[in-house]
Every structure is written in structure tokens, then in C-alpha cells.
Structure 1
Amino acid sequence: MMAPKLERFVSPGKGNGLRTTARIKRGELLFSEEPLACCVSSKVSRAVCHRCFTRPSAGLPCTRPSLHTTSDSETEGEGGQEKKGVVWEKHETLLRCSQCKMARYCGINCQKQAWPDHKRECKCLQSLLPRIPTDSVRLAARLIFSLLSPSKGSSEELYTLEEHESHLSSMSEQKKQGLLQLASMLELYLQQEAPNLAQEIPSLPPSCRDPLSLIAKVTCNCFTISDGELQEIGVGLYPSLSLLNHDCRPNCVMVFEGAKLQLRAIRDINPEEELSISYIETLSLTEDRQRQLEDQYHFTCHCQRCDSKDKEELMLIGEEATWQKLKEALPRLEGLKAESDWKTLLDSCSHLLSTVCGDVPDENLYKLRMTDMALDASIHLGHWEEALTYGERTLSVYRQYYPDPHPVHGVQLMRVGKLQHYLEHIEDALDTFKQAYQIMKITHGEDHPLTTDLLMKMEECHCEMGQRSSSSH
């Protein structure tokens, strides 16, 4: 769904862009679209439904101890997490495709609905077992399969696949070599179903018939699909939204509901003003943001935030010799997080954080990243009091770094609120949930499942406070 208030235009110095033809209020939904093609990321393929992109189990407490107790035997199996006889979020194991052994579904309905798209992919996956192609190869193949499927009606797009940039001419030789390997894998992967792209898919644009060009377009123009906690769960192609240019302090944000993408304004936008999003996580130094944008998207950012180096001094506040130790430790800690070695991660983070103490304030970028990792590890280990301590330390810092309503800030408040609620700090939880709601009603909209979940949490707090006051009289 494309709002009639949007139009394509040529953005000075940036090429194609998207702008508004009318005044937009912050919080307004500008665009909502299902992907042209999408796939679940390999690293979470066992935990996410390949049809509806929902994750059956979450890491945060969702219920109160008094609401539901259980015996130990009930909590066994994937997705069940038991603490003192309390069910956290218990779900059945995802159904696995018996043929390719990779695709998983949350129920029989999703499995049936997925089959028309999955049947070609299934044969290709089987042909390469036990190898699993990379996400970009699987996404490029899914794009081919969607074009092979006559049932797919072509929706009106502001930007066509043919117009998408491949950036091959501006790429380093090393990166091109990497893409050539992916293109070879794509050809091998498609042998079962589409051995000759040009002959089999006349609707495929000429510039996409070459596997290298196709894989380059896919890697440069795909979007990361994230879940309610803003963790990566997949990749998708949303052609019209490839028109949006980057800004390190954008006027719009994208959030997902399953694989469906929604674009919302986070500031009031004037007629003929360009719409912008951030292609990357903006909580990093200007030099690092610019390097990532050049490496990944092949342009140099000259936005106001980059030119002014906004908040740079705050990010590097504290004793440099001390915070350098935190910075140097981060790659190793990120490796532990990727391996889900939560115990070692938490021990390392808490040790490092205790050694820097007052020499490095909480606002320091590297200390904040480490505190966030300690929060994640504490949640995964079920150390709720410790998690809350780390979470509460981040909130005033997030407020400074995200002056505009931002999903990252809203989700962080919601996580901390859930911890406060579970640990029966009801008044604090209600206050935190209210702050989260003020952000998420703009970034996610009133009808998003995360926003409605937040309203339910606030209602629970009100009820519990009412019960407490009536029992004290």
C-alpha cells in the first residue's frame, strides 16, 4: 500500500529519491508492503517460522509467578524455560519440512500456505545437502521462483527491479570476487529448477539474467527483516522502498509485522521534503558509520549529523586509556554473543564494567555496548535482578542518543518495563511502559502487536496497583 502523498523524484547528489506531496504528521503510516521475495536468515532458521516470520519463544518474562505453576516435566522441550516452577513462554517445537530439513513452520496452516513458494526451493535445498546456501543466494533464488510463479500478480511499483543499482562498476576487486562466488553458488543452487535464467523467465529484466548482476542487486537492495525485539530474523526485497535515501538522523523509520514492512514518519514533514531512513544502526561514531555505508552501499554520507559530528564528544567521554580496553574487548564479546555463550559473556562484561567504574561514564559508546551485552546475557540466563540493573543504567543514555522517537529506544524501555513488572516494581514498570508507549505509538502505530502488548502490560499494572491499594485498606 503506497500512500497517495508520496512521489518519486531526483534527489540532488543522491539520484532517485522519494518525497511527500503534502504535509505529513509524525506517526503517520506512509507505506505498507509485503516483500517481492523474502527468506528467514540461516542463523535463526530453527527458531523462526519460514511463512509468518514469528518466533515462538522470547527471552523476556511474560507472566507472573502466581499466574501459572507447573511441574518440571511440563517445561521440557524447545521453547520452554522453567524458573522456580514458572512457565515463561512455552511453545511447541516448530514443524520441520521432512524433505529439505531446513524450512520450519509454527503450524500446519503456515506449512500449507508456504508450499507453493517452498516447493521449488525445497528441491534446490535438497540438492545441496548438507550445505546451506547463504541468505543472499536463497533470497535471489526466491525472487526467481516468484517470477516463475504465474499466480503472482505484478503490483504497481514506483521502482522496478530493472532500475535497481548493482554497483558492480564501483566495487573493489575483492568484493566482486566474493560476489562471483555467490553467483556460482546461485547457479549451482538453481540447477534443479531454473538452469537457464534468460530462457526460462522472459519476464526477468535483461540486467538480472546474469547471476552476478542479480546477486549484486539483491545484496545492495535487500532489507533486514527484524522481530519485535529488533533482532534480525530475515531478509526481503521491497522494490519501492529502495528509493528511500539514507540519513543518519532520518525523518522516517521502518518496522516489521512478520515480513510486512511499514514506513512511518517520526517527525512532521513538509510538502516536497525528501523522506529518509537510516540504512544502518546510527548509534556509532561518524567515521564508523561512513565506513559501513561506503563498504555496504557504496556512497559517502554528507548528512547534517555527519558534517557536525553530532554527539561525538559524548560517545567518547571518560578516560581514554580505560575505555580503549572496553573497545578492544568488544570483538571477542560479540563472538561470544554470536555463539550464545551467555555465561562467559556475562562474566566478561561484568568484570570489565567493574574495572572501569567511575573512569568511564555510562554515556561512553563502548561502555553502553558492553552494558547492553550484559543485559542480553542476563536475560538469557534468567538473572532477572542483574538484567534489570543493567537495563536501567542504559535508559537515560538512550534518551540522549535517540532524541527523535526511535524503535530501538521504545523496545529498550519495553524490555526494562517487563523486568520491573516481573520483579514486582509495579509503579516503576507502569512509568517505563508509559514512556515506551509514547515512542511506539509513533514508530509502530496503535495497531501494531507490540503496541497492543504494551497497552495490556499497562492495564495489568493498573489492576495490580488497584488490588494492592484495596488490600491495604
Structure 2
Amino acid sequence: MAQMLERFVSPGKGNGLRATVGIRRGQLLYSAEPLACCVSNRLTKDVCHRCFSRRETLMRCSQCKTARYCNTTCQKQAWSAHKRECKCLQSLIPRIPTDSVRLAARLIFALLSQSTGSSEELYTLEEHESHLSLMSEKRKQGLSQLASMLELYLQQEAPGLAQEVTSALPPSCQEPLSLIAKVTCNCFTICDGELQEIGVGLYPSLSLLNHECRPNCVMVFEGTNLQLRAVQDIKPKEELTISYIETLSLTEDRQRQLEEQYLFTCRCQRCNSKDTDGLMLSGEETTWRLLKDALPKLEEHKAEFNWEALLKSCSHLLSTVGVDVPDENLYKLRMTDMALDACVHLGRWEEALGYGEKTLPVYRQYFPDPHPVHGVQLVRVGKLQHYLEHIDDALDTFKQAFQIVKFTHGEGHPLTTDLLMKMEECRTELDQL
């Protein structure tokens, strides 16, 4: 697959990736396993630390009490990567270091156990930028604290580790601060098929991809395997781009987030034209601002899994203030999505479907290209329709979802195969009526 891609110097952006041949929408361009990865701290009890599958019950490592696995097979396969980490975790029980510290440590352990580098790598760890010179003093201080934590964490593993690190790591990665900075600037969030975060990982070659707010490629995961697919037709020598952030935001908010997290100002066509800002702010500002101002508190309820309080607040605001705000308004859409999430967690399926169906025409407007977020939303709504025996509607929604996920996820992805099964179930049920 790498023969379809090549490194080049992207004007104004530094290193980039571009196509060497014409590429069709939906084509798989690159797939890669991470150089290092770890499950997110908040999900350590819910996700297998080897295959990244969600399970209701997982086996716990008897030594560190932190790592969890589907079964003995996953545990045995994970041991070579986990054994050094296990000693570090044991020394800190019951505390667990942050995701970035654990990922940096796993990177070090992976490099120490590597015999040779991959010949297919387009971009090496040594070439990754730390961007320390561009960071504010406040951010550097935060990273310095993480670097100190990393040193403390690694000291527990073996007294001679520092000497091993010096001999095995590239010079620019031997300083803990530089390594932490590289990790935080270049890691990817690993998501499940429904785009829920489950971990973080380093995929060196794919760090070459530059950002656009309307990219021509998307990344999806199958376990920890990252797959890069085209969502537009791409010409030879055209740059491949992804979005580093959630694009369903106002231009000002996207640019601020990119400046804070990735230290650059986005000047893409979408940012320059501010093409969807007017639609996102549709309605009277004095009315929709009430929804906007309520969102931080609602986010707190969601983070705390306080679904009852979240649904109560959302339903009240949407049925009072929200009736005077167009469905396309960004803040109303976010609140409607939160209400949908709350209803699903509370098992209130009819209400969930009502909220879900309201979002679909809006998603269609905001995602003109095939996009995983739009496809997953259609799958969610289709499952609710199917469960509630709205079979005709469910089949139609699943068909719409398939027209998206066949491009974004590919026909062999578990989400796509599950979707095809759901469509077949609907057809069978309709034949029996």
C-alpha cells in the first residue's frame, strides 16, 4: 500500500503525504499496527489491554491489578509487552500514571525489545517534532511534570534501565521532556467501531498526515489496527489530509483548538470561507445562547455518567428554549445528541429514537462527504428503529448507513459486516409479514 503514497514537503506545513497514483473514494491507502499503545485510564476495567475489545467481564493481571484481558490467550499474547510495564504499575498501586506517561513508557519498552526497524516506515520516531520551542511556558511546565512522572515510573522497573534507554533510543528521544512532547504531539486516539475513545497509540508514518477541516481521508480502527481510507477521489500528487479534531464546530473554535493542541493556525479553505458558521448559528442569538451556556454543566453530567440528570436538563431545555431554535443550530444539535445518549443508557428507547431521528437531516447537511460520524449515527438510529419494530424505516436507515460506511470503514470492517447482517434481518422480517 505504501507505493500509493510518498513523503513530500507540503508548502507552509512541513512534511506531508501525497498520492503517487489516482485514488478512488473508499480505497484503503494504508493500514498499520501501533509502535506502542495503551488503553485509556478511564476504561482500564472495560477494555482488553491486548485486543482493545470491550467486555463486560475481563481477567485481571494478578500482579499489577491494572491490566485486564478477554482470556488467557490475550493475556499470554500481551505478556511480552506488559512484563516491564507490570513492574512499574505494581510500584504505584493504587495510582495509575496518565495515558501519555504510560504510552511513553510503552514506547520505550517497545524500542528496547525491537531488533530492527520496519523497512516500510515512511517516518521515524527520530524525525518526529516535539514542538517545544513553540509551546507556552505554561504548557512546558505541564509537560515537565509529566516527564518527572515518567522518570519516577521507569525507575521502578530496573536500576539499569536508564543506561538501556540511552543505548536504544534515538538521541532526540532520550530526554524525558522531549519524549513526552513528541508523544503528546503525535499520538492518535484509538476508537472502537462506533467512534468511542478506547485508547491512545503511536503510528509513526501516519504522523506525516496534515490537517484539513474538510479532509480527503479518514482514519478508522479495527482493534488497534489503524486504517486510512479516501473519502474523496484523489489525483496523483495531491496531498492526503485528515482532520485532527472534531470538525462539527465553529471556525473560531476549531482554530483555537488546533492552536492550543497542535501549535498551528489552520488556513484551510473551510476556515477561510467559514462556510458553515452561519448555519451552525442559525436562529436568534438571545435564544440559542441559553442552550450554549447550559452545555458545560451538561458535559459534567455526561462525564459523571449522571444520565438521569442529563436527560432531565436536556429534555427541559429542548422542549422550552429549543422549540424556537432551528434543528441545524450547533448547540441544539449537541444537546439533542446528549439527550439521545442519556436515553440509550437509561433504556428509554422511544425517546432515544425521537431524538436520533431529529439529528439525521442535520448530519446530512454537515457531512457532505462520506464521514464515519454520519455513518455511525445512522447505524445507531437504525438499531433503535429495528428494536422498536419499525422495520421499513430501519431497513431504509441501514441502507443509507451502508452507503457511507462502505467508504469510511470498508466492507470487511466488523461494523460493516454487522450492518449487512442487520439489513438481512430486516429483509427476512419484512418477508414474513
TM over 0.5: same fold?
A: yes
Gaps of 5+ in 2: none
Please, what TM-score do these two structures have when normalized by structure 2? 0.98
Letter in 1 for 2:19: T
Tell me the equivalent position of 2:52: 53
Question: 1:333 aligns to what?
Answer: 298
CA–CA distance in structure 2, aligned partners of residues 181 and 217 of structure 1: 15
Task: Give 1:125's match in structure 2, choosing from 89, 92, 99.
Answer: 89
Tell me the alpha carbon deviations over residues 233-264 of structure 1, each in whole angstroms, 9 at most, x when there is no partner. Answer: 00000000000000000000000000100000
Residue 355 of structure 2 is aligned to residue 356 of structure 1: no
Show structure 1 runs of 5+ residues with no match: 57-78, 80-92, 469-473
Which residue identity does 2:128 align to in structure 1?
H
Specify whether residues 290 and 421 from structure 1 end up closer, same or farther in structure 2 by C-alpha distance, changes over 3 A only: same
Q: Counterpart in 2 of 1:448?
A: 413
Question: How far apart in 1 are the matches of 2:427 and 2:4?
Answer: 40
Partner of 1:97: 61
Residue deviations 1:144-174, cap 9 Å, x none? 0101114676453111101101010010000
Partner of 1:170: 134
Q: Cα RMSD between the aligned structures?
A: 1.1
* Counterpart residue identity of residue 108, structure 2: I
| Aligned counterpart, 2:364 | 399
Whether 1:308 aligns to 2:273 is yes
Q: For residues 424 and 17 of structure 2, what CA distance do their matches in structure 1 show?
A: 39
Aligned: 1:291 with 2:256: yes
CA contact (8 A) 2:131 2:181 kept: yes
Q: Residues 198 and 94 (structure 1 numbering): CA distance in 2 closer, same or farther, change over 3 Å?
A: closer
* 1:193 lines up with 2:152 in the alignment: no
Distance in 1, matches of 2:342 and 2:159, equals 45
Kindly tell me: are residues 152 and 325 of structure 1, through their superposed partners in 2, closer, same or farther at Cα, counting changes over 3 Å? farther
Q: How many residues align?
A: 432
> More deviation in 209-218 or 349-358?
349-358
Equivalent in the alignment of 1:383: 348
| Alpha-carbon distance in 1 for matches of 2:16, 2:158 | 34
CA distance in 1, matches of 2:196, 2:404: 19
Q: Aligned partners of 2:15 and 2:87: how far apart in 1? A: 38
- Residue matched to 2:12: 13
- Structure 2 counterpart SS, 1:392: helix
Over 3 Å counting, the alpha-carbon distance change for 1:414 and 1:274 in structure 2 is same
Q: Name the residue aligned to 1:204.
A: 169
Letter in 2 for 1:19: R
Q: d(CA) in 2 for partners of 1:42 and 1:356?
A: 37
Tell me what 1:37 maps to. Answer: 36
Which whole-Å CA distance do the structure 2 matches of 1:435 and 1:45 have between them? 34
C-alpha distance in structure 2 between counterparts of 1:290 and 1:32, whole Å = 29
Partner secondary structure for residue 397 of structure 1 = helix
The separation in 2 between residues aligned to 1:171 and 1:285, in whole angstroms, is 24
- Take 1:413 and 1:426, find their aligned partners in 2: how far apart are those partners? 14
Q: CA contact under 8 A between 1:32 and 1:261: conserved in structure 2?
A: yes
* TM norm structure 1: 0.90
What is aligned with 1:64? none
Q: Give SS of 2:194's match.
A: coil
Aligned structure 1 segments of 4 or more residues deviating by more than 2 angstroms: 150-156, 192-199
1:213-292 residue pairs with structure 2 within 5 A?
213-292=178-257
Give the 3-state SS of the residue equivalent to 2:321 in structure 1: helix
Quote the sequence identity (%).
Answer: 80
- Deviation per CA, 1:39-71: give whole Å up to 9, x if none: 000011111111001112xxxxxxxxxxxxxxx
